Amino acid sequence: MGHQYSDCYQCGGEVKERSVAREIWWKSKLHLIENVPVGVCQQCGEKVILPDVAKVIDQMLAGEHSPRSLRASAHLSVSRDRACEVPRSVTRSREPFLEMGSTGVSACVRKG
């Protein structure tokens, strides 16, 4: 974590960076992106995604930026050779979800 944020544009409160999960619909499919660095207002809870973070997410979903692509095979973490659990409430398909970590981005699919 290390992005700088200005005060909240809604209420003027202090904005601190947090890692959050984001659900994004892309081409009629729901993707869960975990560990997204987001500025969160300590006063009103307003969330801000910086343009460079949004650009990386857009590139990942478009297949231009790797977590080695969204075309993951079932039961395989694209970057870590381990399977991951994705809650059934997020998606009932075997669509991958993305994780933004300190060393980059990884993609996983829900087991069974």
User: Which residue do the tokens 């202090």 mark?
Assistant: 14
CB 40 within 8 A of CB 74: no
With a cut of 50, say whether residue 73 has pLDDT above it. no
Write down the pTM of the prediction: 0.55
**What is each CA distance from 59 to 31, 51, 52, 97, in whole angstroms?**
14, 12, 11, 14
The C-alpha torsion from 8 through 11 and 14 to 20, rounded to 10°, is -60
Predicted pLDDT at 53: 86
Rounded to whole angstroms, the Cα distance separating 85 from 108 reads: 8
CB 7 within 8 A of CB 16: no
User: Residue 82: which pLDDT band, with cuts at 50, 70 and 90?
Assistant: very low
Percent of the chain, pLDDT > 70? 55
